[in-house]
């Protein structure tokens, strides 16, 4: 089975999952089910997800102290790129609840025993690389508009961004570039990680299935992407503490979205 766990495996002997057509209602329903998963044992989930705001605060502190204020917003936006990988433990909890298994927070670490762990790490590595490229792109955009000089202070930088033509250009070009990176991350990972937890397949098949899911349901997936972006933005504005609530809800909802988009494997039993 080792050849089913690599990025470049030969897929001729592997059944490619079938994709369903979904509606806006399916996206909203998946979000509500994610909220219900979170509501059942919120203390467990918030405890496990405290790592996300902590990491975010560390990143903000580093960026401010390292004369990299211009990268604070790109770093915060980068959570949307890494979120699908960071929430892998939440998919496992939703999967276990669906099967009426014990779903305490400890079982989030069961992903370390997943048969397709190498594939999970491979797809996660793709998102990490995408995040690094995004950071280099954000720095290049800033330097092309403002030059190589770092902002003197947070107040001065904010004033330049909001009140000058160069700042408006930075907002426009930067967000346009960020949108492109977000679309790439969505296509790569929208159902890839839940699929890898659910079945022992290769990373190539998981990414290809995720891309087919987006191609088959472009408008519902756009709605899902907007929900994720707005939720993460609101959570980040709340000094990133909101991520401790938003991340688990979105993580659980991603599992339920996967269940609506991807047909179950032959003979696979599903919870009602």
User: pLDDT tens digits for 11-42?
Assistant: 434 568 999 999 999 999 999 999 998 888 77
Q: Express each pLDDT in 142-172 by its tens digit.
A: 999 998 887 877 788 888 899 999 999 999 9
Per-domain boundaries in the chain = 19-261
Residue (of 82, 87, 88, 91) closest to 125 by Cα position? 82
The arithmetic mean of pLDDT across residues 121-132, rounded, is 94
Q: Rounded distance, CA 134 to CA 163, Å?
A: 25
Q: Provide the pLDDT for residue 215.
A: 96
* Beta-ladder partners of 262: 19
CA-based angle 168:171:172, to the nearest 5? 85
- Is residue 250 within 8 Å of residue 83, measured between CB atoms? yes
Q: Express each pLDDT in 42-64 by its tens digit.
A: 766 666 666 666 676 666 666 66
Confidence band, pLDDT 50/70/90 cuts, at residue 209: very high
CA-based angle 84:238:245, to the nearest 5? 45
- Residues sharing a CB contact under 8 Å with residue 196, sequence separation 6 or more, in sequence order: 114, 116, 119, 120, 123, 203, 206
Q: Rounded distance, CA 97 to CA 100, Å?
A: 5
Tokens read off for 115: 């048969």
Q: Rounded distance, CA 182 to CA 249, Å?
A: 19
The arithmetic mean of pLDDT across residues 111-123, rounded, is 88
CA 159 to chain CA centroid, Å, is 31
pTM (2 decimals)?
0.83
Q: Provide the pLDDT for residue 27.
A: 96
């Amino acid at each position: 089975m080792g050849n089913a766990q690599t990025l470049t495996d030969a897929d001729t002997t592997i059944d490619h999952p079938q994709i369903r057509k979904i509606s806006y209602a399916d996206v909203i329903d998946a979000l509500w089910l994610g909220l219900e998963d979170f509501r059942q044992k919120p203390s467990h989930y918030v405890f496990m997800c405290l790592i996300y705001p902590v990491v975010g605060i560390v990143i903000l502190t580093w960026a401010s102290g390292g004369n990299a204020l211009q990268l604070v917003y790109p770093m915060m936006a980068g959570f949307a790129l890494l979120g699908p990988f960071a929430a892998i433990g939440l998919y496992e909890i939703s999967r276990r609840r669906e099967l009426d298994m014990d779903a305490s927070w400890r079982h989030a670490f069961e992903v370390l025993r997943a048969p397709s762990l190498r594939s999970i790490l491979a797809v996660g590595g793709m998102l990490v690389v995408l995040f690094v490229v995004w950071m280099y792109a954000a720095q290049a955009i800033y330097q092309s508009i403002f030059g190589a000089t770092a902002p003197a202070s947070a107040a001065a930088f904010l004033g330049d961004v909001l009140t000058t033509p160069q700042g408006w250009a930075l907002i426009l070009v930067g967000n346009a570039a960020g949108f492109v990176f977000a679309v790439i991350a969505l296509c790569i990972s929208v159902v890839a990680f839940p699929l890898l937890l659910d079945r022992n397949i290769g990373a190539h098949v998981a990414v290809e299935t995720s891309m087919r899911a987006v191609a088959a349901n472009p408008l519902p997936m756009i709605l899902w992407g907007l929900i994720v972006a707005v939720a993460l933005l609101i959570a980040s504005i709340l000094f990133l503490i909101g991520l401790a609530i938003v991340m688990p809800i979105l993580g659980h909802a991603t599992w339920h979205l996967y269940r609506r988009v991807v047909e179950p494997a032959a003979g696979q039993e599903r919870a009602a």
